[in-house]
Structure 1
């Protein structure tokens, strides 16, 4: 906490004299807010500038202190604010009830100013330490997640370098996938997950022999059997993990070649039995493959690629997701232009900021 900024104490009591006493004790050290009713206390606690601690009377009309405390602890936004009951109810069962509801302390009336000051200072200090530790954990978690994300992206690019001159395919199709997820109004964390895990969709190609993967002509039936093992290989490479990112990456690797009509591979899933991540990636992957020049083909025009994807809606692709993708074409084309095919040296330079 910034030592130059006064911390905020919310005093909740329906008796003005009690409020004046507590405010007088605390005002020199803290910013004091007052609520005379339980609902007002909840509103202030849930505001954009919540208090750092709450001193809460128990015996109040309409909503007593126990109910206020219960509602505070049920709300994720307010459940960590320390609550000290300040009340004339001094029986053991009263204190027990207060602690069971989540209060951190219990001061009986009439209050002693040194006791109030000491208790408030102690619990604010503990709350500050808790928030500081939370901040450190969040920073460390973010750093680890960023590292994991970069490893996944680079592994995805490694797979693409086997059969793509630049590896930019994984960058573009990942962003296309996120655009679709955003248009579906998926939660932001889901959109971030699909952006981060999509690059692993073809990691299984690492296990396909180069004589098949890099063959310039049509594959034989036997070679196609081998090629169609790469989703299972990819899922095996990613393996089992508690990380939500890697869980999604495994689903994508395994299902992005499934088709809406059940004619895809490796498991012949159809319709909504195909996880939505696999259905999203299928569209993003094919669109980028069609509109990118490869050693064995020229790049298709965007118009021709969209026409093919629309034609295959209901057979290869989820028809509703195709509509969503087409509706987002301006954003898709912005990504396509931003991450256009370029040299290996330029990609290496971009890796630090991508």
Structure 2
């Protein structure tokens, strides 16, 4: 997805490389969520959902503390990492969380990871659901373009669905990481 966006001059190679390498940290805040909520196979109560929805901010706090301790000072990369962690649950229509950002106010890196994360979740087997077919995922993405997802990112991923299918069949556990590139 990132390579397609770079070809469209929406970002550069360094940005794509950073998103690729840092995207795996998007859910780091889940390490601070109580295990009974994190590993629940039941539908969350409103209270449990509120706790789970704290993971982006918790992740930013955790990573900021770590990077400050080690005096990490690459501010461009730091912004990309923190934007991915904080904003990967924002929605293009502004109804996401935690900041209810809308459209291009959502950092591009977060918009990319949002799409990749959703594709990974839908294609994965989970205790509460079976994996979706690639056709159903494609339809969901198309229907969510402009509301859930950035249309530019959906356009990019739709141009790469053959790669998604290939990656999924060869490496079912690494689909999300490869979607970033």
The normalised TM-score by structure 1 is 0.44
Pairwise CA RMSD of aligned residues? 1.5
Partner of residue 116 from structure 2, selected from 268, 278, 284 = 284
Q: SS state of the match for residue 100, structure 2?
A: coil
Per the alignment, residue 198 of structure 1 pairs with: 23
Higher relative CO (CA 8 A, sep ≥ 6), structure 1 or 2?
2
Partner of residue 316 from structure 1, selected from 138, 148, 173 = 148
User: 1:248-270: per-residue Cα shift (whole Å, max 9, x none)?
Assistant: 11110000000001110011111
Write out the 4+ residue segments of structure 1 that deviate beyond 6 Å after TM superposition. none
Which structure 1 residue ranges, 5 or more long, are not aligned?
Answer: 1-179, 343-354
User: 1:104-151: per-residue Cα shift (whole Å, max 9, x none)?
Assistant: xxxxxxxxxxxxxxxxxxxxxxxxxxxxxxxxxxxxxxxxxxxxxxxx
Please list, as runs of the form range in 1=range in 2, the aligned pairs for 1:169-180 lying within 5 A after superposition.
180=1
1:230 aligns with 2:55: yes
1:340 aligns with 2:172: yes
Separation of aligned partners in 2, 1:339 and 1:327:
20
Aligned residues: 163
1:277–1:329: structure 2 CA closer, same or farther, 3 Å change rule? same
Q: CA deviation at 1:296?
A: 1.4
Per the alignment, residue 2 of structure 2 pairs with: 181
Per the alignment, residue 87 of structure 2 pairs with: 255
Checking the alignment, whether the CA contact within 8 Å between 1:238 and 1:246 is kept in structure 2 is no
Separation of aligned partners in 1, 2:52 and 2:147:
21
Find the structure with the greater CA-based Rg.
1
The normalised TM-score by structure 2 is 0.85
Greater share of residues in strand: 1
